[in-house]
Each structure stands twice: as structure tokens, then as C-alpha cells.
Structure 1
Amino acid sequence: MTAGTVLVVRPDSAGDVLLAGPAVRAVAEGARQVVLLAGPHGRAAAELLPGVSRVVEWRTPWIDPSPPPMTGPHALRLMRAVQEAAPELALVLTSFHQSPLPMALLLRLAGTPRIAAICADYPGSLLDVRHVVDEDVDVPEAERMLGLARAAGFELPPGDAGALAVRRPLPEVGHLTGPPGYVVVHPGVSAPARAWPAENWTRTVHDLVRAGWRVMVTGGPGERALTARVAGGRPAPEVVDGGHVWESVADLGGRTTFAELAAVLAGASVVVVANTGPAHLAAAVGTPVVSLFAPVVPAARWAPYGVPAVLLGDQDAPCRGSRARVCPVPGHPCLSSVPVARVVEAVNHLASVKEVVH
């Protein structure tokens, strides 16, 4: 398919945007330019996606975790941005529990001539390409979105296997991390139901250092208290490399941009992280992941995609499939039951896998 400007809509979190990467590349292969509509939580990830020509930001009231009021002026801001982009086609990418129809209505009012989406509900005249999938079958989100792109007539370029990816080159971060070969520990999450206890993260860092690893503790600006606690739980020895002295534990909380975080993850042997955006960012830079995965959403859909991974956590716990943001089960057993020793064991296993692959 050959198209002019195509609008791809994915107004969710950074991880959701990264998972849209294969679909975006398929569209870019057959379009003159791709404009990606993202929310504020996903914009930085959108700007890293290969194939994206321009990013438009709009907070989507039925998607954003802290939604703005759905007012006429707010809707007009989106409609004006869409009219300026003048797409001849829009792909509305959603997760299985989201409806594309509110966005399709606004795009239609903005004059978008063709709209494609996965939709179980009757769309009337809101969609031109209604792609129906069996939502009882758990398909990885990246493949689900790529399926919509194919239904709309777009295919990945020859030689593109459909893995997650980011633009290269990434920023230089050696001044933060020292040489490659460390482990990244990312303790923060966007929803409490997905969190592993902070004291477990602290013990993991300590035990990784005892096992001979350098550890980078990463997090966003709002997670500095958590990363300081996790990184500073115990005094650590120093490692000497080439005349430079590198601390065994570095607290990088709030010290990186999203692109710099991608570079930090790319230099790691393994990333230890819950089900949150950096898990997908690690996959996008090809680094193995120890995934502390709460089953509030299906791992078959949202586990790290396309890289070696060890999935930890009771996937049959009572919270399974609840989509809860706060754990509904006292004691948070699905993750609190994961022993620190199992995490360290998984790190050592995946590090050996990465050495074999590279």
C-alpha cells in the first residue's frame, strides 16, 4: 500500500507506545509520513520510534490515568491538530479492553477520510476498516497492533522481523554507568498492584553486588526516594576498571532522559523490572529481562516481547485478569512470594544467555 500522511493513535503509557513500534514501522514502509498521536506519558517513547515523522500530544480523557475534563475546547485542540496534519488515513491502536470509537468520532469530526481500528462493538459509520479479533485469545500486544496495520494494507519492510526497536544512535551514558556489563534494577511502577516490595529490591541489589555485579538503579524524577532507598540499603565495595573507580551501586533515579534511560538499558547485561514501561524499553534495545510480573493483566499480552526473559510471580493468583491498579488481595502474594534468591539466579542465567547471543 502507498499512502500520504497516516495518523497512528496510541495515547497511552510509554510501554504501550513502544509495543506499537512494529505496527508503526509497517505503516511507515507504505506511507509518505507517519504522525503519531500520543499522550504526555507516551510522548518520549513516541519520539524514539523508528518511522515516526512527527508527534502530536493530546491527553485522552478516556485513557489518561489522571484524565482531564472532556470539554468542547479540549476536543477542539485535538481536532485542530488533526486537521493540520491532514491524514488520509488514521489507525487507532488500542489494548483489548479499550474502545477505539470515542477517538474515531473525534477524528471523523476533524475530517479524517479513512479510519481503521480493532473493534468488537458495532461502529456504524465511524470506521472504514473494522478489524475483528478473538479477544479470548491472548496475543502479544505488539502482534495484535501489527495485525491491524496489516488489515489496513501495511506490511513490515523486507528483513524486519517485527521486534521492538528504538532510533539509533542513543546518547552516550558512560559517564553515568561506567563500562557495559552491569545489571539495571528498576523498582518503580505506575500502578501499586504491579510493585514488588521495596525491601526486596534493596536486598536484591545487595545480593547482586555480593555476586560480583555492578548495579544501576534507575527511576524517574518522582521515584528518587525509592531509588535512593533501593541503592543505598547497604555499603558496597568498589570495582576498579582501567584506572577508573566505579561504585558497585549507582543511583540514577531522576538523572536520565527517556533516551538516556534507553542507552543505560542497552549497556546492561540484564534488566530487573516489574511490568512497566522500562521493561518494554529494555526489550526495544535488545536486553534480557527478569520480569516481576503481577497477573492483573495477562503476561501473554504484556510480558517483555522478543528478548530472552524470565517471568517471575504467581500468574494464577486471585488478582489474575482484574486489571487492578491497587492490589485487591491482602499481602500482595503474587509478587511478595518471589524470593530474592530466585531473582539473582535469573539474572545470572540471562547474563549467560546474552553472552551466547552476542
Structure 2
Amino acid sequence: MKALVVRLDGFAEVLLAGPAVRALATRANPVTVLCGPGGAPAARLLPHVDQIVVRDPPGTPEADDEALVRRLRADAYDVALVLDPDGPGPHSAGRLLREARVGRVGACGGPGADDALDTAAALGFRPRPGDDGRLRVLPTPDTAALTGNGPYVVVHPGAAPPDGAWDPDRCAAAVAALADAGHRVVVTGDPAESALTRYVSGNTAVDLGGRTDARRLAGVLRAADVAVTGAPGPAQLAAATGTPVVSLAPPDGPRRPHGVPGVLLEPDRGTARDVTAAVHRLLDERT
């Protein structure tokens, strides 16, 4: 049986599809993930993903839904799980799958990993015995050469979109406060955020801005004591590695990281002292 998982939004959302992917893989082979360009790096980290198909956003020069339909039809999928469907319209995932003649389609309107698992179960796919439904990623590399030796807290100050990021001055103050409290701090970010990570790191933190791809970032997060971030992708990636998260989330921002201890702080109210207290609370819970 050939299965297709459709998740066309971002990095965090594709990570949240991971438990459902594992459920489909109990009976289906291969399992393909159809995602957007931003979700593809996350799909490459998921266990039991055999193939990734990237759909360029409709309206972009690269978009070619007709070619995509031909490819999906040729692959002859027996079942598809559509997560967070985008509703009716000429560019909807449902239309693509109908034109691709997929045998059975289950659609999940909820945003979370548990919603996706429930929809997979309705299609007849349940997790393996002992699978706790948490997020997981493939084995990560040893990143000690990047972070240095010894325990540390990760601070990821950026966010996508940028207006969801925490204020840089507050992030820099949080890094300084964590360092004053005796923590080694590692600051992460993508290449476009290098100036931000350099500023936030100051003279106290290890600056890894622009030095990690998704797999190396997963390794950095796995080895961390706690991750502090307002970005949904790194927050869910930390959760997938089992690391607790202090989430600097606006009220309508990223969901709480799935399956790990976490503290939610509103970015317009949280202070450096609040961040440090939240980190200590999560560390106390681990001991």
C-alpha cells in the first residue's frame, strides 16, 4: 500500500505530522510527504519518510500543478492523509488528489499532532505498540565541535515571519541574565539572522548564527538543557529531540511544543528575569 501525507505549510507543521507518518508506516510502504519548500527540511528529518515531493506555492514562477498531478497519478497512491487542508479552490490539496486519482483521502482540520493521529486512525492506521505519539527526528550529529563542551541553554531569537520574533534587546538581556545565573548560552539562527544572533550573543554566548542547517540544529537542540525561542520551527524541533522549551509566543503565535515540558511567556510582557526563572523551573522538573 502506497501512502501520501500532505502538509503544505511550514517547518513546524511538518514536524507535527511525524507521529501520523509513523502510524501510516505500520501498514504502508512507501510513505511520501507532499510539502512546501519551507517544510521540506523538516520532512527530511522524519523517521519512516521514504520520499519527499515539494509543491511550489501557487502563483510562483516555479509552480506547476499540472506536472505535480501527473507525477502523483503515476505514483498511484492508495491512500492520502491531508493535514490542515486549505479548503476549496483551484489550488486546493483536495483538487490535486482528486485529479491524481488517489484511492482514499482522509482530511484533518485540526492543527496538532494528536488531530493528525486521530485522522490516521480513522483511515485504519494506528501507531506501533509503545509509540507514545511524541515528535521524533532521525539520529542527529554530534555538535560538540560547534557548541563546546559542557551543559548549555539554547536561545533562538529569530522567527518566521520576523514580526513574530521577540524584541532583540529583550533577547540580549535574557542571554546576559542566563549567563549571570551561571548558564552557558548558545545562540542559534539561520544565515539571514547572523546580525541578530551576533547582537544577542554579546560577549557572553556562543554565536552559531548561520552555522547550522536543520539537522545540525537538531543536534544542538538535543544536547541542550532547555531551548528558549519564539519561533515555532525551532520550538517543535526542540520538542522532537526531547528538549524542554521556554516559548516566547504571542497569544496568536506558535502552539505549545508537543510532548515535552514547556513554559509559555508572552513576548510583550516577559522579562529577562522571567526567562531565567522559566529555565530554572524546567531544569528543576528534569531532576
Partner amino acid, structure 1, of 2:60: P
Alignment of 1:146-157 (within 5 A): 146-157=117-128
> Counterparts of 1:276 and 1:57 in 2: how far apart (Å)?
21
Q: Where do 4+ consecutive residues of structure 1 move more than 4 Å?
A: none
| Cα separation, partners in 2 of 1:198 and 1:10, compared to 1, 3 Å | same
- Paired residues of 1:118 and 1:148 also in contact (CA < 8 A): yes
Q: Which amino acid aligns with 1:196?
A: W
Structure 1 residue 146 displacement after superposition: 1.1
Whether 2:251 is the aligned partner of 1:268: answer: no
TM-score, normalised via structure 2 length: 0.94
What's the % identity of the aligned pairs? 45
In structure 1, how many angstroms separate the alpha carbons of the residues matched to 2:136 and 2:195?
30
Give yes or no for contact 1:44–1:258 (8 Å, CA) kept in 2.
Answer: yes
Q: Which residue of 2 aligns with 1:175?
A: 145
Q: How many Å separate the matches in 1 of 2:150 and 2:57? A: 39
CA, structure 1 residues 350+70, in 2 after alignment: closer, same or farther (shift >3 Å)?
same
How far apart are 1:7 and its partner, in Å? 0.7
> What do the CA deviations read for 1:88-118 (whole angstroms, capped 9, x no partner)?
11111116xx327711111211222222213
1:162-201 matches, cutoff 5 A: 162-168=133-139, 170-201=140-171
Q: Which residue of 1 aligns with 2:189?
A: 219
- Summarize deviations over 1:205-254 as a string: whole Å, max 9, x none: 1111111111110011111111111112xx33xxxxxxxxxxxx111111
Q: How many aligned residue pairs are there? A: 285
Shift of 1:49: 0.6
Q: Does 1:85 align with 2:75?
A: yes
1:179 to partner: Cα distance: 2.5
Q: Distance in 2 between matches of 1:345 and 1:39?
A: 37
Amino acid at match of 1:309: G
RMSD: 1.8
Structure 2 CA distance, aligned partners of 1:93 and 1:28?
16
- Label 1:264 to 1:214 Cα distance change in 2 as closer, same or farther (>3 A): same
Is 2:123 aligned against 1:116? no
Shift of 1:77: 2.4
Pair 1:346-2:272 in alignment: no
Using the TM superposition, give the Cα deviation of residue 275 of structure 1 relative to its aligned residue in structure 2, in angstroms: 4.0
Which residue number corresponds to residue 321 of structure 1? none
Q: 1:290 touches 1:309 (CA, 8 Å); kept in 2?
A: yes
Separation (CA, whole Å) in 1 of partners of 2:118 and 2:87: 17
* Structure 2 SS opposite 1:90: strand
Corresponding residue to 1:282 among 238, 244, 258: 238
**Structure 1 residue 83 displacement after superposition:** 2.5
The 2-side partners of 1:266 and 1:275 are apart by 17
Q: Which runs of 5+ in 2 are unaligned?
A: none
Larger radius of gyration: 1
In the alignment, which residue of structure 2 is the partner of 1:305? 258
1:68 alignment counterpart? 60
- With over 3 angstroms needed to count, the CA separation of the structure-2 counterparts of 1:270 and 1:346, relative to structure 1, is same
- Following TM superposition, by how much is the alpha carbon of 1:70 offset from its aligned partner in structure 2, in angstroms? 9.6
SS at structure 1 position matched to 2:2: strand
Q: Distance in 1 between matches of 2:79 and 2:156?
A: 38
Mind listing any 5+ residue stretches in structure 1 that lack a counterpart? 62-66, 120-138, 237-248, 314-334
Paired with 2:56 and 2:119, the residues of 1 have a C-alpha distance of: 23
> Residues 147-191 of structure 1: CA distance to partner in whole angstroms, max 9, x if unpaired?
1111111100000010011112x1121100122520000001102
Residues 100 and 118, structure 1, Cα contact 8 Å, conserved in 2: no
1:56 and 1:348 map into 2 onto residues whose CA distance is 42
Aligned 8 A contact 2:22 2:47 in 1: yes
Query: Alpha-carbon deviation of 1:142?
Result: 0.8
> Who is 1:253 aligned against?
209
Which amino acid in structure 2 is aligned with residue 255 of structure 1?
R
Hey, what's the Cα distance between the residues in 2 that align with 1:222 and 1:113? 42
Q: Taking structure 1 as reference, are residues 100 and 250 closer, same or farther at Cα in structure 2, changes over 3 Å only?
A: farther
Counterpart Cα distance in 2 of 1:336 and 1:44: 30
Cα distance between partner residues in 1 of 2:227 and 2:88: 33
Task: Give secondary structure in 1 for the equivalent of 2:31.
Answer: strand
In structure 2, distance between residues paired with 1:220 and 1:352: 30
Contact 2:157 2:196 in 1 (8 A): yes
Indicate conservation of the 8 Å contact 2:236/2:257, yes or no.
yes
C-alpha deviation, 1:193, in angstroms:
4.1
